[in-house]
């Protein structure tokens, strides 16, 4: 066995160890969510048993926690669409036109990601209260989109810049407007970058906790907040129901990432190349 095969073997072993370390907590969380109540605190823990859906019945039917997952989905999708729309238009402007202080303006647009979001929590709360948007989907959509637009701008500016300038110039010579060049030429050629930016924006918006906790109370409460406040509402630890809530909180993102993984990897990889 040559050195290359040995190295490959150790790489595979290392990947298996890392995957096991990463996946096992999720696997154990799922087992806890389907365990009968009398087995939850058994020591040592049992890995083979007759599954029970009692925890899922409690959170979905009795407590109707499904509404919080609907809220998270609507808010994350809304923030993703808004961030992609504004970020893509801004990215096209930066690569299409030359204007004074372009780089300075681009760098200043990234300030939103240079400091902890918690530093803006109090002013954003007062702004939303003055606009009467507290406990609404729109408030979180606007906040999340504003935080993720710099990320979209960083990703898409590089992608749009890889579209040959000659193609854009020919389109202008053929009578296309700026918006037609943007929508019919640049966007289709940068679809991988758009999907990559969309995946990252959706995941970050779905997982956000602090602003969802402060800006909502009931109507727009998201899944992460519902999970964190479950113990407080119940007054006691109910491990099965908490595990079921945890599974439902990570499941949409997990499924989303599985189906969009190849676009994410391909998009970010292509976005890192020049020429």
All structural domains of the chain, each given as residue ranges with its CATH number in brackets, are: 62-271 (1.10.3720.10)
Residue 118 is predicted with a pLDDT of: 84
Residue 229 is predicted with a pLDDT of: 76
Question: CB–CB of 33/56 below 8 Å?
Answer: yes
Buried b (16+ CB within 10 A) or exposed e, 157-176: bbbbbebeeeebeebeeeeb
Residue 268 is predicted with a pLDDT of: 56
Rounded Cα distance, 241 and 88, in Å: 41
Choose among 150, 137, 158, 132: nearest CA to 79: 137
Rounded Cα distance, 93 and 179, in Å: 11
- DSSP designation for 45: P
Question: CB–CB of 204/273 below 8 Å?
Answer: no
Rounded Cα distance, 28 and 6, in Å: 33
Residue 273 is predicted with a pLDDT of: 46
Walking along the chain (275 residues) 10 residues at a time, the average pLDDT comes out as 67 85 87 82 79 82 84 94 93 85 83 81 93 93 93 87 82 82 85 86 91 90 84 64 85 76 60 46
Residue 275 is predicted with a pLDDT of: 43
Rounded Cα distance, 84 and 145, in Å: 9
Which of 39-46's residues contact partners 24+ apart within 8 Å by CB, and which partners? 40/239, 40/240, 41/239
Rounded Cα distance, 121 and 125, in Å: 6
């Amino acid at each position: 066995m040559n050195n290359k095969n040995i190295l490959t073997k150790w790489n595979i072993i290392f990947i298996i160890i890392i995957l096991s370390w990463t996946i096992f907590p999720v696997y154990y969380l799922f087992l806890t969510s389907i365990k009968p109540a009398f087995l939850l605190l058994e020591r040592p823990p049992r890995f083979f048993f007759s599954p029970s859906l009692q925890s899922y019945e409690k959170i979905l039917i009795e407590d109707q926690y499904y509404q919080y997952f609907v809220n998270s989905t609507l808010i994350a999708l809304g923030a993703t669409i808004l961030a992609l729309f504004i970020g893509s238009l801004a990215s096209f402007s930066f690569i299409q036109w030359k204007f004074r202080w372009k780089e300075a303006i681009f760098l200043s647009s990234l300030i939103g990601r240079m400091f902890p979001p918690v530093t803006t929590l109090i002013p954003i709360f007062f702004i939303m209260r003055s606009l009467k948007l507290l406990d609404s989907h729109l408030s979180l959509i606007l906040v999340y989109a504003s935080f993720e637009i710099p990320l979209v701008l960083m990703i898409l500016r590089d992608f749009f810049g890889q579209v040959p300038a000659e193609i854009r110039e020919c389109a202008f010579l053929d009578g296309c407007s700026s918006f037609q060049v943007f929508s019919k030429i640049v966007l289709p050629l940068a679809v991988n970058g758009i999907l990559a930016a969309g995946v990252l924006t959706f995941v970050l918006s779905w997982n956000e906790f602090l602003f969802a906790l402060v800006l909502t109370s009931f109507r727009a409460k998201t899944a992460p907040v519902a999970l964190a406040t479950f113990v407080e509402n119940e007054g006691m630890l109910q491990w099965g129901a908490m595990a079921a809530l945890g599974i439902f909180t990570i499941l949409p993102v997990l499924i989303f990432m599985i189906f969009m993984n190849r676009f994410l990897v391909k998009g970010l990889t292509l976005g890192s190349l020049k020429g």
